[in-house]
Structure 1
Amino acid sequence: MPEQPATPVTVLLTPDGRITGWGEGAARLFGRTAGEALGAMLTDLLGRPAAAEPLTAALKLTAEGRPWCGVLPLSDAGLSASCDPMTGADGGTAVALTVAPPWAGGLELLSEAGRRIGSTLDLHRTAREVVAVTVPRFADAGAIYVLERLLADDDRPAAEADGSAVVRRLAVSFADDDPRGWSREFPVNEVIVYPPSTPYARCLATGRMVEFGGDAVQDTLAHRTGRIIDGLLDHVSLLAVPLVARGRTLGFAVFSRKRGRLPFASADAALAAELAARAATCIDNACQYRREHSTATALKAGLLPAAVAVPPGLQIAHRYLPARSGVGGDWYDVVPLPGDRIAVVIGDSVGHGVTAAAAMGQLRVAAHTLAGCEFPPGEVLERLDQIAQGLDAAQFATCLCLVCDPATLRCELACAGHPPPLLALPDGTARHFPVPDGLPLGVSDEAHPPVYGQAPAAIPPGATLALYTDGLVESRMRNVDEGIARLASALVASRSASLEETADGVLALLEDQQGHDDIALLLIRPDLPEPGGQA
């Protein structure tokens, strides 16, 4: 299909309607070359005898030196046109006939589509935005269908063996005063199998638009129910438009018009193709995000510990809250060591999505192994730094490693750029737990690897030690230091005999931090009695 002109087209005519000037815009609009057009009568060239009388009247006025404007039946829908007198190359009278393309109003529609479609990466919302833009301005009904295999979690063949189209309806809209009945008949999220002979399956197989009506409407749209729905056959002109992005056909859009409205013409088909192309890009982005988010979520769910090993003498509560916008790289682990000791590791790989989750997984497994080999915390971080240097998926990561002996409550800590632990004391105060500073993992020069120092510390009886990631303390509204001060206050205010209730209370008080970034929180409390004998 030739590309349609987006601006008005001018044709030069003699006063009796014979063509003397025919440019590329006219060729695209009317589908006739200059060789075919020059010297021909305009109405004969276009096969529009009904246009002869109104065009003759317009040309007569123009020949008298009076400009004319109105609608001429030069297409099925009619074309807005104007006639202006001018002097021809031979000094005689000529007429400049300027015609607005029938889809010129579609420029506004395309502009609106650019503003409204793809406002989020939510697949269903994107599909709803497409039909909301097109119904009822462009069509009396519209729907978006995406290949089911793109949405399925299992591995399926690239296409159905028999050529059928297995699709899911993501959005549907009707211009009727009461569209609820239609929505019941064509529900969102319904999976439909269209046989190879249907226009929809042909559209998918060829990647080309299919126009149909008449018996095909009955055969195709009634295929799902095996019966004719009241009012269904009023939709007499339909377009099945492929949704193609990056060379792949993702599904198709359906637009239909009812009796009493002009059927789809070539200009309408060009507009539908442009709308579908823009919609397909947004749908493809949403599909990619959906797959990546699903993969990262599943990957992270499989790597984060569902439970932690708690040795005698300690209580441990842990929480993980993913970001709404995507899965990040927060991770933590509690590794049992000989003598009822434990190693606690918490970290944050930069970024979001599959790459961050994959880097997190590799670092967590490595940290678990290194800590389990009873390397001291500083050496654990030094070896993790060497591993992080070779991870293409991670630019850098922060990490904190702690080894604790519940019998003595003595700890050894090392830190690689991670936020410092907090200690909430029984007297209602909170302070930083001492930890030496160190570079984040993966940012140092390989020729000069960092040395991570260790600091000894002790957890006082009855105190609560908090390890966390920056999602709990950093935001656009406040800096990290202010966020850490808020966390310290929340730890003191949420103190409870139950460490689980304490963790829930902290997250409730800092609810405004949630959703922007991943959040990990580990609380450690000795079972030893507090000073004064209180358990």
Structure 2
Amino acid sequence: MSERRPRQAAPVTVLLTPDGRITGWSEGAARLFGRGAGDAVGAPLTDLLDGLLGGTDAARPLMAALKRAAEGRPWCGVLPLPEGAGTGNGLAVACEPMTVEGGGAAVALTVSPPWAGGLELLSEAGRRIGSTLELHPTAREIVDVAVPRFADAGAIYVLERLLADDDRPAAETTAAGAGGGEAAGPAVVRRLAVAFAEDDPRGWSREFPVNEVIVYPPSTPYARCLATGRMVEFGGDTVQKTLAHRTGRLIEGLLDHVSLLAVPLVARGRALGFAVFSRKRGRLPFATADAALAAELAARAATCIDNACQYRREHRTATVLKSSLVPAAIAAPPGLQIAHRYLPARSGVGGDWYDAVPLSGGRIAVVIGDSVGHGVTAAAAMGQLRVAAHTLASCEFGPAEVLERLDAIAQDLHAAQFATCLCLVCDPATGRCEVACAGHPPPLLALPDGTVRHFAAPRGLPLGVSDRAHPPEYEQVTETIPAGATLALYTDGLVESRRRNVDEGIARLASALAASRSGTPEETADGVLALLSDQRGRDDIALLLIRPA
């Protein structure tokens, strides 16, 4: 057989019965095996593989794969070629189940050069890995691409320190290959994903669970991989030493994995963790070309994992900031009911916030605000303004003076371009309110008779936009909440969208308040959000309802 035959550039397709008898024969198969379709169809595949693979022992893994494929389980692998066949990597083979007319089972066998399979693997990795910024799904995408096409098992491990949001410099978080030194200590990592090309992957998942934290001693190939930033190839004897204290059928099966690669996951000069790939007996051990492919796959995977880690840290930061923007609960004074809701934008935390501050004489100060923009920057700015507003209100400054002092503070907040704010002080005994407004949407008053009108709130400049040399003077007015009426304070996320302007949105809010007025403030708040559900997602939404008891 010619040495050039295994170097076929085009894939070869053969259709087979479950027991390995040929039913279909492509032109590529005729060139590879040196037989025409007339001689091949009806013959057992083993007769053709004997000469190409050097005996039936080499073909045995393929015959087992055909049986599994006929049962609906596809298989990919590399079959060894005898010395002198012209390549040291073997023949890449894929077995895919298929159905034929009449409901019978068949198998499509695709043979291609190993280097073509590597390009296809990297192409698939580019399409599938990184479809989400969630860490665990990203890790799962990596092992799903690699197993079983590239390896019989794969796992992704990430440094526990990174998942704990600890960014302090540490030996194990710096890749030596990027200029760092070797780590002397153990590697503490978390398993994020694992995959086995086995009949019952659930058993393996129970034995090697996701989210398990493992400490690998410095002498292990895993710790050396992290310390040096270089790939480490090792054999099944190392696995046996590592798992010497564990027994069971699955562990014994794992010892059949005799060729393993520990590949560092390095992004931006920092080791994030490592990937482990293994191959069982009966499949070619990892060769030089496989190591290069694993390195390329790991490099792409590391970038996606790094993005996911950054997103995770930012999401946690946003969550912490979010909790500081709005109180978990509001204690309403006797004679007053207050319902409050906060819905963050789907794109992340924004700048909406509110607060309620108890005052002397049973009164209460209510403040609601909104910083321009979204994300951590806007949230951080409003977090500072909320603390300042709480302090100013607790000192019992009037609403106008609270806004004037907040404006001076906002001038020094470089993170905030500007912010809107409304401050109200209410006396539950009389329903009397003192109100001042800094560019915030006007409150709405829903009356018991079903009508809704604007609540008096003078318009003033937003916080932080005036000249420091000419600070604004905010007007303060007095208004009353009648018995049985409900006052609604809100941010523009509830009334403004790309499909309608603010005035149309306020009219819709008024209709929603009228339709939901018969319930308690809590029920009314839920009803309003349900009726205006199309507003949710683009921007933050804050809503407060105040009703005399």
Report the TM-score when normalising by structure 2. 0.73
Map residues 58-137 of structure 1 onto 2, 5 A cutoff: 73-77=85-89, 103-137=115-149
1:298 paired residue number: 320
Which of 480, 487, 491 matches 2:513? Answer: 491
Three-state SS of the structure 1 residue aligned to 2:461 is coil
Q: Aligned AA for 2:137?
A: R
Between 1:372-381 and 1:340-349, the stretch displaced more is 372-381
Flag the 1:244–1:223 CA change in 2: closer, same or farther, 3 A. Answer: farther
Partner amino acid, structure 1, of 2:530: A
Matched, 1:152 2:152: no
In the alignment, residue 371 of structure 2 is paired with which amino acid?
A: S
Q: Secondary structure at the match of 1:379?
A: helix
Equivalent residues in 2 for 1:265-344, closer than 5 Å? 265-302=287-324, 304-344=326-366
CA contact (8 A) 2:325 2:354 kept: no
Q: Distance in 1 between matches of 2:311 and 2:303?
A: 12
Pick one of 402, 419, 422 that aligns with 2:424. Answer: 402
Offset, 1:105: 3.8
User: 2-side partners of 1:469 and 1:272: how far apart?
Assistant: 51
Letter of the 2:323 partner, please give it: A
Q: Which of 505, 524, 543 is matched with 1:502 structurally?
A: 524
Question: Is the CA contact 1:343–1:401 (under 8 Å) kept in the aligned structure 2?
Answer: yes
Look up the SS of the partner of 2:137 in the other structure: helix
Tell me how far apart the structure 2 counterparts of residues 315 and 138 of structure 1 sit (CA, whole Å): 63
Q: Is 1:381 aligned with 2:403?
A: yes
* Structure 1 segment 96-495 matched on structure 2, within 5 A: 103-152=115-164, 158=170, 163-220=185-242, 222=243, 225=246, 229-302=251-324, 304-495=326-517
- CA contact 1:326–1:353 (8 Å) conserved in 2: yes
**Aligned pair in 2 of structure 1 residues 352, 273: CA closer, same or farther (>3 Å)?**
farther
CA contact (8 A) 2:349 2:376 kept: yes
Q: Partners in 1 of 2:134 and 2:186 — Cα distance?
A: 27
Deviates more, 1:382-391 or 1:502-511: 502-511
CA distance in 2, matches of 1:168, 1:226: 22
Inter-partner Cα distance in structure 1 for 2:120 and 2:329: 56
- Mapped contact 1:72–1:78 kept (Cα < 8 A): no
For residues 469 and 86 of structure 2, the distance between their equivalents in structure 1, rounded to whole angstroms, comes to 77
**Aligned equivalent of 1:524:** 546
CA distance in 1, matches of 2:301, 2:220: 23
CA separation of 1:116 and 1:353: change in aligned 2, threshold 3 A: same
Q: Give the direction of change, closer, same or farther, for the CA distance of 1:132–1:446 in structure 2 (3 Å limit).
A: farther
Q: Distance in 2 between matches of 1:465 and 1:398?
A: 19
- Rounded to whole Å, the distance in 1 between the matches of 2:123 and 2:322 is 40
What are the superposed Cα offsets for residues 332-363 of structure 1, whole Å, 9 maximum, x if unpaired? 11122333332211012234444333222210
Retained in 1: the 8 A contact 2:400–2:476? yes
> Hey, what's the Cα distance between the residues in 2 that align with 1:106 and 1:441?
59
State the identity %: 84
Please list the CA deviations of residues 104-123 of structure 1 after superposition, one character each: whole Å capped at 9, or x if unmatched: 54333333322322222211
Residue deviations 1:388-439 (CA, integer Å, cap 9, x gap): 2211332332211122233332323222232221211111122222323333
Identify unmatched segments of 5+ residues in structure 1: 1-8, 10-49, 51-70, 81-99, 528-535
Q: For the Cα contact (< 8 Å) 1:467–1:522, is it kept in 2?
A: yes
CA distance in 2, matches of 1:79, 1:475: 58
Give secondary structure in 2 for the equivalent of 1:230. Answer: helix
Q: Could you tell me whether the CA contact under 8 Å between 2:233 and 2:261 is conserved in 1?
A: yes
* Code of the aligned partner of 2:150: F
Change (3 A) 1:420 1:164: same
Report the equivalent of 1:97: none
Whole-angstrom CA distance in 2 between matches of 1:508 and 1:230: 57
Shift of 1:507: 2.7
Q: Which moved more, 1:111-120 or 1:247-256?
A: 111-120
CA-to-aligned-CA distance 1:220-253 (integer Å, 9 cap, x gap) = 4x26836671321232221111111121111111
Shift of 1:477: 4.7
